[in-house]
């Protein structure tokens, strides 16, 4: 009923949202002779803030650019393979050379994979780049069946089979645990398409390490209560009507509640920038929140499985993780180069939680394993931003190149 009530309220406010948005557009229009007056800027601010509170935030289009000489070249997304709950997308900057393949396993934790545009941009410079583009569960018909943690692993293994041997896997955030499972299962099967290297970035491998607010939450709130409070049926009007999901708007409120201060600062600064007429700052604000507020529904099975296996019962570090009912033996992985990347100021996955993967993959020799901690970045800084481009990405690139015997390239300054 909560989801239905939310949808009813959302749809009933569409006319008001449209009127407010048209009002702020008129106030800021270059053809408006009063646009630069204090009064008109005040009106624009007063209209835009509630308009943004009421508007819909659809999935954003991928906008991946690479600098080629003096030109910004658009790297288009190509659908390589489609499955019920995700598409495999390719981003390749054609330059006449054969580049190593990299599969970016995107987190399925509320946001769309478009949040990783900057990550994609880094890799397209040197790699034939692919990404898992997860679908909004409310858009997936019930006839496609359920989707759980094992389903995520299966999607990854299918995509690796499509890409073939010598594909390097880079897993971001919550994608790290299922990527580890996929690598171990493919190793046990002696599959030719097993990952050539595995990079885990800011992923919750062992959340008992460096406890944070999420850890404390799982210690105090019973697992059953998460299911009772967070799982709801998709209302009529969507292809997935009737599917049980963890709604995107619930997840978004959780993200903000965990770290509200930056958002309070940003929204507090918006009226000041609006009254000053600082269009650069205003557009930066809009671009960020158009992406940040674009969330998707997560299928019940995947949400509850991940919550139980990763955050409550710690299946991977305890050695009790199963795939399709069979125990996963991570220690049998012997020759997989493993890199873990962490952010010094990461509040979601503090340093140590991702590095724990090295203890899990105990059979990999020390000379094939590396942990890197980036000073001065939080969770999202691990995947995007100037420090990702200038410091983190080169570490991953050189790690992969070293694994396949490619000499390190001379560093070229990255412009933003």
pLDDT per position as a tens digit, 125-158 = 999 999 999 999 999 999 999 999 999 999 999 9
Burial class (CB in 10 A: 0-12, 13-18, 19+), 360: buried
> Is the distance from CB of 352 to CB of 338 less than 8 angstroms?
no
Percent of the chain with pLDDT over 70: 97
Q: In this predicted model, what pLDDT tens digit does every residue of 180-203 receive, in sequence order?
A: 999 999 999 999 999 999 999 999
What are the distances in angstroms from CA 156 to CA 90, 105, 107, 194, 206?
14, 8, 12, 10, 21
Residue 259 to residue 257: CA distance in whole angstroms: 6
Residue 77, beta-bridge partner list = 91
Residues 6+ apart with CB under 8 A from 183: 169, 194, 195, 198, 333, 336
Q: What pLDDT does residue 84 have?
A: 95
Pick from 68-77, 278-287, 392-401: least confident: 68-77
Q: What pLDDT does residue 95 have?
A: 75
Give the pair of three-digit tokens for residue 124. Answer: 């397209």
Give the pair of three-digit tokens for residue 147. Answer: 């989707």
Q: In this predicted model, what pLDDT tens digit does every residue of 13-56 receive, in sequence order?
A: 999 999 999 999 999 999 999 999 999 999 999 999 999 999 99
Q: What pLDDT does residue 407 have?
A: 65
Burial 110-131 (b: 16+ CB within 10 A, else e): bbbbbbbbbbbbbbbbbbbbbb
Residue 86 clears pLDDT 80, i.e. is over it: yes
Residue 333 clears pLDDT 60, i.e. is over it: yes
Q: In this predicted model, what pLDDT tens digit does every residue of 337-348 receive, in sequence order?
A: 999 999 999 988
Q: 353: pLDDT confidence band, cut at 50, 70 and 90?
A: very high
Whole-model pTM over 0.85: yes
Q: What pLDDT does residue 90 have?
A: 97
Residue 361 to residue 333: CA distance in whole angstroms: 7
Residue 408 to residue 397: CA distance in whole angstroms: 9
Q: What pLDDT does residue 403 have?
A: 95
**Angle made by CA atoms 358, 341, 72, in degrees to the nearest 5:** 145
Residue 90, beta-bridge partner list = 78, 130
């Amino acid at each position: 009923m909560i989801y239905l009530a939310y949808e009813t309220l959302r749809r009933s406010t569409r006319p008001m949202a449209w009127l407010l948005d048209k009002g702020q557009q008129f106030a800021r229009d270059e053809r408006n002779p009063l646009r630069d007056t204090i009064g008109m800027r005040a009106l624009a601010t007063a209209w835009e803030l509630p308009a943004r509170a009421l508007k819909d935030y659809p999935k954003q289009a991928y906008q991946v650019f690479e600098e080629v000489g003096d030109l910004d070249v658009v790297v288009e997304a190509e659908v390589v393979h489609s499955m019920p709950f995700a598409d495999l997308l390719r981003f390749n900057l054609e330059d006449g050379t054969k580049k190593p393949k990299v599969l970016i396993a995107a987190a399925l934790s509320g946001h769309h994979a478009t949040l990783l545009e900057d990550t994609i941009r880094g890799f397209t410079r040197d790699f034939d780049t692919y990404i898992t583009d997860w679908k909004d569960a409310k858009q997936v018909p019930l006839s496609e069946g359920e989707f759980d943690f094992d389903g995520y692993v299966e999607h990854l293994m299918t995509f690796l089979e499509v890409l073939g041997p010598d594909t390097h896997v880079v897993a971001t955030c919550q994608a790290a645990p299922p990527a580890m499972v996929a690598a171990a299962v493919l190793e046990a099967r002696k599959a030719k398409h097993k990952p050539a290297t595995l990079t885990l970035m800011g992923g919750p491998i062992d959340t008992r390490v460096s406890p944070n607010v999420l850890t404390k939450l799982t210690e105090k709130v019973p697992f059953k209560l998460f299911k009772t409070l967070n799982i709801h049926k998709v209302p009529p009007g969507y292809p997935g009507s009737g599917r049980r999901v963890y709604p995107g708007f619930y997840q978004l409120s959780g993200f903000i509640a965990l770290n509200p201060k930056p958002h309070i600062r940003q929204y507090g600064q918006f009226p000041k920038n609006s009254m000053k007429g600082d269009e650069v700052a205003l557009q930066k604000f809009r671009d960020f929140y158009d992406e940040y507020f674009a969330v998707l529904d997560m299928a019940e099975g995947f949400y509850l499985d991940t919550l139980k296996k990763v955050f409550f019962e710690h299946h991977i570090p305890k050695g009790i993780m199963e795939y399709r009912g069979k125990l996963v033996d991570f220690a049998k992985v012997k020759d997989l180069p493993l890199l873990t990347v962490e952010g010094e100021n990461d509040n979601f996955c503090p340093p140590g939680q991702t590095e724990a993967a090295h203890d899990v993959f105990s059979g990999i020799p020390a000379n094939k394993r590396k942990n890197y901690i980036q000073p001065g970045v939080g969770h999202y800084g691990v995947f995007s931003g100037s420090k990702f481009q200038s410091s983190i990405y080169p570490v991953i690139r050189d790690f992969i190149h070293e694994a396949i015997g490619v000499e390190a390239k001379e560093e070229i300054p990255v412009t933003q």
